[in-house]
């Protein structure tokens, strides 16, 4: 019995993700809905490898070659869900983005009541790289809680805590100040599990009433205003993510010819 040869190319869902059309999971859902065609034929299974010679279309529109990886910082306001579609018809991040942005994906999520820095990218590979647990980039938050909390309670978070069978890694927590009936903390995590900060705070007896992400790895919210989007410089994206820059075309400089010198050598002609 001989092994079947490995199909050439990449899985269709990976190609669509790389082109910034959708995440792999979303691409598989789109395939199931009959929205993807390859070489003019609608496909019904993601178990398909394609090459650069295949023509892919989504909703009848041709998918071109992947764009250069790009990233943006977005100051998400509270009240938006980080999804493209919401079954409860709540306002979404993607509907609120400026019209001049290309199709983008979010790096992770912020829940509807959270605000602050949300990274966006047009490249599925960049999204996956930033979301991998092995990346372990620190995410820093400003947290406002109702009431106050003791250092002994915060030590539980610093040591790592288990809530309803879910283990959370040790966190860096600083008590900043008391402000009337509320207190402000600065908290840093590396995992970013679903509603992690709200759940651990509830476990030590306090409720979060405001949650602002101020940094994600080396990327800082800074003074970016709510609702604003700022594209990162390509050099920053390359340096931080280790992405190779596309080769720049080689430009030939024309030789400088000074009066009384030849064009070929730049030296004075022999008389």
Q: Kindly tell me if the per-residue pLDDT of 258 is higher than 50.
A: no
pLDDT in tens, 61-95: 888 766 788 899 999 999 999 988 888 899 999 99
Tell me, which fold does domain 138-216 have in CATH? Alpha-Beta Plaits (3.30.70)
Q: Enter the tokens of residue 19.
A: 């082109």
> Could you give the CA distance from residue 119 to residue 180 in angstroms, rounded to a whole number?
33
How many angstroms separate the Cα of 207 from the Cα of each of 1, 113, 210?
Answer: 63, 13, 9
Common-topology check for domains 10-62 and 67-136+231-243? no
Domain extents in the chain: 10-62, 67-136+231-243, 138-216
Instruction: List active site positions.
Output: 111
Greatest pairwise CA separation for the chain in angstroms:
96
Threshold 0.75, pTM exceeds: no
> Could you give the CA distance from residue 242 to residue 45 in angstroms, rounded to a whole number?
33
| 3-class SS string, 1-65 | CCCCCCCCCEEHHHHHHHCCCCCHHHHHHHHHCCCEEECCEECCCCCCEECCCCCEEECCEECCC
Tell me which residue has tokens 């306090």. 206
> Could you give the CA distance from residue 181 to residue 145 in angstroms, rounded to a whole number?
9
pLDDT in tens, 119-178: 999 888 888 888 877 777 899 999 999 999 999 999 999 999 999 999 999 999 999 999
SS3 92: strand
Q: Which residue would you say has higher pLDDT here, 271 or 179?
A: 179
Q: Which residue would you say has higher pLDDT here, 253 or 125?
A: 125
Domain 10-62 has CATH 3.90.1150.10: no
Domain 67-136+231-243 has CATH 3.30.360.10: no
pLDDT in tens, 186-239: 999 988 888 999 999 999 999 999 999 999 999 999 999 999 999 999 888 888
């Amino acid at each position: 019995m001989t092994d079947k040869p490995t199909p050439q190319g990449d899985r269709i869902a990976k190609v669509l993700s790389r082109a910034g059309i959708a995440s792999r999971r979303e691409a598989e859902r789109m395939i199931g809905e009959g929205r993807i065609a390859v070489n003019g034929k609608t496909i019904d299974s993601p178990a398909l490898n394609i090459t650069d010679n295949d023509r892919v279309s989504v909703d009848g529109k041709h998918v071109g070659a992947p764009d250069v990886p790009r990233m943006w910082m977005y100051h998400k306001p509270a009240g938006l869900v980080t999804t493209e579609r919401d079954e409860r018809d709540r306002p979404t991040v993607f509907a609120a983005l400026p019209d001049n942005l290309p199709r983008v994906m979010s790096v992770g999520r912020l829940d509807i009541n959270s605000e602050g820095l949300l990274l966006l990218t047009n490249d599925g590979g960049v999204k996956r790289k930033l979301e991998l647990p092995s990346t372990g980039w620190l995410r820093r938050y400003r947290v406002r809680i109702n009431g106050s909390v003791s250092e002994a309670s915060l030590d539980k978070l610093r040591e790592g805590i288990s809530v309803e069978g879910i283990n959370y890694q040790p966190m860096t927590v600083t008590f900043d100040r008391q402000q009337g009936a509320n207190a402000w903390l600065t908290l840093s995590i590396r995992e970013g599990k679903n509603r992690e900060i709200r759940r651990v705070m509830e476990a030590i007896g306090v409720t979060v009433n405001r949650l602002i992400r101020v940094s994600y790895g080396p990327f800082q919210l800074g003074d970016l205003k709510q609702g604003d989007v700022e594209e990162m410089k390509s050099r920053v994206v390359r340096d931080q993510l280790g992405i190779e820059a596309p080769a720049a075309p080689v430009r030939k400089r024309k030789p400088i010819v000074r009066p009384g010198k030849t064009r070929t050598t730049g030296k004075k002609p022999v008389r």
